[in-house]
Amino acid sequence: MRLLFTLGGKRRGYSPLSHRQRRVSPSLAFVGPLACVVVFLFAMNLTACASQPVQPDYAQADSWVEFPEAPTKVADTFFVLPTVSLKDRKPGNVNPADKRTVRLFEKTLSMEKGIVSDSTNVYAPLYRQATLGCYLDKEDHANIDADLKEYGEIAYEDVHAAFVHYLESLNEDRPFVLFGYSQGADLVLRLLADFGDNATFQRNFVVAYVIGAPVTRDYLQEHPSLSMAQAKDDTGVIVSYNAIDARAALPTGEELSINPLNWRTDATPAPPSQNLGYVVVNTDGITEQEQPAYCGARIDEKSGKLLVTDLAEDSLYNIDDGLFPKGDYHLYDLQLFYRNLQMNVRERLDSFASPG
């Protein structure tokens, strides 16, 4: 049975311009120059549209970073990748047909998919993701809000289309996990907002890992069918956190989190002994570094941030990458708790398979 989902908020197209030759009275003489400006701007818009990368055809295997043609596991993960390049500072969208861009997607997936690939078949779409330039602050880009809205919408159109194709043609009634980190997490939140009320979605939805993007109370109030994880094995829920060092200045705002070391939502601290492994995986999917008990963590009750404590070494804390303030571990949200996340995927799948 075909599933019907709609994507709201699509941008309006342009109607063809018509022009009728006639005499122009002196009182309307200004219309001629104004029309030239309108036509010029219209032509510029057509040029911009023509240069926009084309949405992938998700019926084709080469539109996916990973596409198991013969899935062997009983559950899936729909994996939305984060920003794959930290070098593109100009707002825009990447071209998923570009070979270099495809390789960046592949390398990024190789570093991250081990969290879910031991337990699930991984489906990861290529998409016209927003560039890093869309996320830089307003001091660098005065129109950052407009840029993110425009280019983020294009990114979501692709992820939405890929997910619809996955549900209709690839899922085959298997339980599934949603996994998104950073930009991918933002897009997973949008998927949850659009699909969370759907009975077909709910039947097989195990958990959504929304890591590196905040989930707020307002978001849950707007989407009452969604809820946050409260334990290590509840299902149909959202797992989310944003890690910063306990010594760092707390940002403003409030978000909802769960501690990936003790799976609590309160301020109960988890010591390093509960950390199963900090893991660094290279772009070939090979583990280069692994260290159990690397750090502890606790949730700050006011901000909801996950505070990293008792680091085995201060090298991460002292990194100055020019993108994030000292002590902001956004780039390490997965690495710091890699083995705990990996085990948790299995725990929630087991719980889903044997409810009660």
- Could you report the per-residue pLDDT of 176-221, keeping only the tens digit for each? 999 999 999 999 999 999 999 999 999 999 999 999 999 999 999 9
pLDDT bracket for residue 37 (50, 70, 90): very low
| Confidence at residue 114, expressed as pLDDT on a 0 to 100 scale | 98
Tell me whether residue 47 is in a domain.
no
Judge contact between 71 and 121, C-beta under 8 A: yes
The per-residue pLDDT of the chain, averaged, comes to: 86
Tell me whether residue 259 is in a domain.
yes
How many domains are contained in the chain?
Answer: 1
**Which of 111-120, 135-144, 225-234, 275-284 has the lowest average pLDDT?**
135-144
For residues 137 and 163, the model is more confident at 163
Domain region containing 124 = 52-353
For residues 186 and 253, the model is more confident at 186
Say yes or no to pLDDT of 21 above 50. no
- 152 vs 272: CA distance, rounded Å: 37
Strands 176-181, 121-125: pairing kind: unpaired
According to DSSP H, which parts of the chain are helical?
Answer: 31-51, 99-112, 114-117, 144-165, 183-195, 199-204, 217-222, 338-353
Q: What is the pLDDT of residues 215-226, one digit of tens each?
A: 999 999 999 999
**Across 227-233, average pLDDT:** 98
Say yes or no to pLDDT of 48 above 90. no
- 228 vs 243: CA distance, rounded Å: 17
Q: Per the structure block, which two tokens stand in for 38? A: 């309108």
Tell me whether residue 21 is in a domain.
no
pLDDT bracket for residue 139 (50, 70, 90): low
Whole-model pTM: value is 0.85
Tell me whether residue 32 is in a domain.
no
Q: What DSSP string runs through 63-103?
A: GEEE--SS--SS-EEEEE-----S---SSSB--TTSHHHHH
pLDDT bracket for residue 332 (50, 70, 90): very high
Tell me whether residue 43 is in a domain.
no
Percent of the chain with pLDDT over 90: 72
